[in-house]
Structure 1
């Protein structure tokens, strides 16, 4: 029997496809330090859990396709802390940030259209593009340059009559890059001049280090009708399993059209929305402490990488990822070797091969993404193991 071209063209997740090797390593008695996936170990705010515990309705009913009113109000309150103002009919609750991006693509592109995305990018953007029948056209950025965007002329040359949107994450996954106002102005101007939407994935908004100034595309008044913000509580509040995201846009007509997609999947789970609505009550101290912790973790990983012979890694200023270029020919083979053939006192590490974060063939083959979501003690141990592994692998 024949499967669809759509599903055949989708790549496996480079983050998850080696999980069976990790599971086998554990069965063989190894401890695996998971640096491959962005699953925070930070405690989920008690406000979320308490709100769910207090739910005492006798019937667990459908929620509105748009989202529970109290959750939408909570998101409005959240954005106001960034001086970004949305009305109730400008926000849709989605099943995580992933559905938000997919729905946004489905709303503004047709089969065969193109979207520009700075690479390396969150690997599921490829999957969303395949699902929507859209070609991903990469804006290549380089580790040696801190993953900064190229100049306007280079990006403009990538625009065709099929280009419909620019998609990006800010701060970046997997790079940890934080776009400057100058870089954002380049994308703003290209969007205006070529009648493009900007789909801005801002799930790591809180995680900014080193005094870097963060700016949201939601702050650009002159293009507010073509900006689509996608967001999620997953990373911000360490609530990945809740699957609560959102689409926000001042383009009310767009929101009305995307609502059709929301209606087709009925609703987002009611219980999780109730928990998420309470997150607007989380104190600023929570973020202050979390950001401080992630910065300390970033420093552990970055400083350790600088001490490894042949490794190239620029300091990331946001999110909780770092891309490292390793002194190996094939990072995926190296990661497999770590899980199958290597250990230090029955301990090893799992990384995410970075080739799958690129659309340009051949790029990222010697790179890995490291997610610094483990506690500081575990990160120090994991970095020691990685250093020893690279020395052993060379031999």
Structure 2
């Protein structure tokens, strides 16, 4: 039976919701008696950037089963994607040898590795000879091992002499990196997954965590179950499975998230919910052109984002702006989580900056449970493409 992408996402969301509600995780898939593992080998799930630990069941040198590692942060839980690693790995539809289209419009035909590599080398050679080294490029992936990205960098930069090296994590991580660098001078989150278990308020924006990071969603839902007083704010134009567990769903008009967060900052300052002892000691201010400014200058800038005005821009009830700002600032520990809804947009760096601003204004940072935490989309976006060159 074939499954469409829409069906897959639907089942994926359902599995996350069931796991969150029941506390039960998906274990190893059923397997035939003659395929029962002889041993279990530690590994890491290769899908999203959550980094869940897995135990791979091996028999006769072949992977035959999968289950979550109980000693990793996922505590034995795997989402639907992780649970299907073995069927995907052993699918008859996997491409296991090179394919070449010998003529335009022709079919892909299997060839040997030697023939495929010779063809690639000749095409690269002819392009470089005719048009120079910048006529070729390498576009990598956050699914690549760090070692693979390193070798590709050596070949293209050191061998071919071109700087045309990039990868798809640029799309999902460049905004987050730019935001962290310009706010903190370092390009990674300072928090950890353990902060989820300490947070008393979650500000989730631009992330359908339930479908994109279901293991972490389950952890957030469990935190809410253990301590019902924990507040969850989901700011997202869509109503998603994630928003269903929220105390407040702010369905702002697409593209108005910056105005919404500026307005939250206005409420925090004008209701004296900020933390002057923190920002006076640790925070500096800059204007829109990157020139040094001060708190009064920032406060004056925010006058353009009074909640009554922004509520019309965002098309949300003005009470939501006030309530979200108060919950964020008055919490014992607020953790912000965001993903591609923030990072894959034209003003993604600024959107990241504004999330960090809320934490810096309120001192909701560098304490257990209080942190601004970007969720990524691929397992080796940082180590492979970014840190690898």
Larger radius of gyration: 2
TM over 0.5, shorter chain: no
The TM-score normalised by the length of structure 1 is 0.30
The TM-score normalised by the length of structure 2 is 0.30
